[in-house]
Amino acid sequence: MSEAGDNKSFRTLRGSLSGEEPHEANYFAYSASLRISGSIPDLDEITRRLGVTPTSAHRRGDRRKPNSQPYEHDMWSYTAPVKETEPLHVHIDTLWNTFRARKPYLLQLKHDLTVDVFLGYRSNCDHAGVEVPHQSLEMFRELQVPFGLSIIVT
């Protein structure tokens, strides 16, 4: 309640705690990336075998910035080329459609490397959820990787 005794409702926990709502519209951003990491002998071979250019790649010992810590592992990563405002399942489905035919190779890579799917959800809304249709979970079952979601609320 406010000092005048009237009820004041808030749309966010942050607003309730501070007494003021943020002055920005809610946003929701999603992403899905296939990542391959470990001691990768030939990053170019992975690119050739998967048929797509990685969105990012680095070698063990490389640095993101001159003063940052060096990477501990090699990494090949491909992020689905989908607008971040599209629902999460669109990112997942686009990623799986890119790699479905390469499933045997990805399973083979898992013998010596880590293969996973990184899902991202970013929002300024602290009371929302994410729904993924069961059809969009095929990739996780087929590649035998867990469904994990990185959630960042700003």
Residue 8 lies in a domain: no
Residue 97 lies in a domain: yes
Residue 113 lies in a domain: yes
Question: Could you tell me which residues come within 8 angstroms of residue 101 by beta carbon, excluding any fewer than 6 positions away?
Answer: none
pLDDT score at 77? 98
| pLDDT of residue 50 exceeding 50 | yes
Quickly tell me which residue has 């000092």 as its tokens.
Answer: 3
pLDDT digits over 21-49, tens only? 767 888 999 999 999 999 999 999 999 99
pLDDT band at 148 (very low <50, low <70, confident <90, very high): very high
Instruction: Look at the chain and report how many structural domains it folds into.
Output: 1
Structural domain boundaries, residue 145? 26-153
Secondary structure (DSSP) of 48-94: HHHTS--SEEE-TT-BSSTTSPBPSSEEEEEE----TTS-HHHHHHH
Q: How many angstroms separate the Cα of 82 from the Cα of each of 85, 86, 130?
A: 8, 7, 17
Report the percent of the chain where pLDDT is more than 70. 92
pLDDT score at 129? 86
pLDDT band at 3 (very low <50, low <70, confident <90, very high): very low
Residue 31 lies in a domain: yes
Which of 4-13, 67-76, 135-144 is least confident? 4-13
Tokens for 106? 């990805």
pLDDT score at 2? 42
Residue 34 lies in a domain: yes
Enter the DSSP assignment of 144: T
Which of 3-17, 48-62, 69-83, 129-143 is least confident? 3-17
